[in-house]
Structure 1
Amino acid sequence: MNSPHYFIAVPLPSSLKEKLAGWQRALKPELPFKQWVHPEDLHITLKFLGAVSEEQLNMLIRLMAQIRNFNSFSLMTGGLGTFGNPENPRVLWTGVERKPELMDLQQYVEGIAFESGFKQEKRPYSPHITLAKKSAGKTDRIPEVKSRYTGHQPIAVNQVVLFRIHPGKKPKYGIEEAYKFSRGREQ
């Protein structure tokens, strides 16, 4: 039997999910992507883990409890960007501010994952919220469309979640464990 797949992420507030779902509805007729992320699945990935054994999961859950000592902080999100060929992108995303607190949190999560037996990510961390994946064809509309989506919205970061991936379901990400920060302001 295959091991379930997991990732660690910052969950988004409902208000931001609703705003981004509106962007997705407006963008679908304009941009050729095969897969649009379900609004309930929108998040900021800190670490993709992939297949996780029960032993790794137990260690990860135990070590992640330490993350509760982090302080809450806020971030700005907004704008559109892509990964891959600009005319045939792999991913359409909205940006996330590269705030030191977020970068420290991601590095901490990366360290916990490494200690739990996962490979360290070699690519530099690029915080974003994926809106769509897998371009369905070339388009020259991306620059024009990106110029219309420039608004920014603040979000409070006061917890980290271990998500389990449920292929074939919508939404497909389920909360396995949530780690609310014990320090900082209530948000």
Structure 2
Amino acid sequence: MTSPHYFIAVTLPESLKERYAGWQQALKNKLPYRQWPQSEDLHITMKFLGPVDDSRLEKLIQAMSEIERFPAFSLQTGTLGTFGNPKKPRVLWAGVERKHELIRLQENIEKIALKVGFQQEKRTYMPHITLAKKWAGGVIQLSDLKEHYTGQDQFSVNQVVIYRIHPEKQPKYHAAAVYNLSGEAI
């Protein structure tokens, strides 16, 4: 039996989850994606871990406690974007500001995971909130849609979570450990 999969993420406030769930509802009729995450599952991934056995998970949970010394901060989200071929994009997302504090937090998480034995991510970190994935066919022009799905929403980043993935459940992601950042967001 293979070990369950995990990832580390920043949580979103309910108000943002509701906003992006509204975008998803409106876009489902316009875009042929096979997967639309439930609003409860919306997040900003900091590091995907893949399969993790119980022993390594316990080490990671303990090591991640040092992240609680990291100060809380504010962050903006907004514009619609994609990964992959613009005419058949594999992922549809809401953009996230590449703020210095977010990048530092991600780098710290990467270092902690490396110490526990996880692979270093080789790709440049691109923060986003996945709204849909797995393109199901056809060619479309997304530029028209992007004009209607914009906005600057600001929220406080004050929590990081290690999530376990349950592919057969809805919602799919369940917290294995929660870390509160220190102080109030500026």
Q: Does 1:21 pair with 2:13?
A: no
* Gap regions ≥5 residues in structure 2: none
Aligned length: 186
Taking the TM superposition and a 5 Å limit, the aligned residue runs for 1:33-182 are 33-181=33-181
What RMSD in Å do the two structures reach over aligned CA positions?
A: 1.1
Change in 2 beyond 3 A, CA 1:166/1:143: same
Q: 3-state SS of the aligned residue for 2:46?
A: strand
- For structure 1, the residue ranges without an aligned partner over 5 or more in a row are none
SS in 1 for 2:90: strand
In 1, Cα distance between the equivalents of 2:139 and 2:150? 20
In the alignment, is the contact (CA less than 8 A) between 1:31 and 1:139 conserved in 2? no
SS at match of 1:130: strand
Aligned-partner Cα distance in 2 for 1:184–1:53: 33
SS at match of 2:47: strand
Counterpart-to-counterpart distance in 2, 1:169 and 1:84? 27
Contact 1:31 1:142 in 2 (8 A): no
Partner Cα distance (1:75, 1:139) in 2:
33
TM-score normalized by the length of structure 2: 0.97
Query: Which consecutive segments of 4 or more residues in structure 1 shift more than 6 A?
Result: none
Identity of aligned residues (%): 58
Which structure has more strand as a fraction of its residues?
A: 1
How many angstroms apart in 1 are the aligned matches of 2:25 and 2:167?
A: 23
Match of 1:2 in 2: 2
Q: Which amino acid aligns with 1:185?
A: E
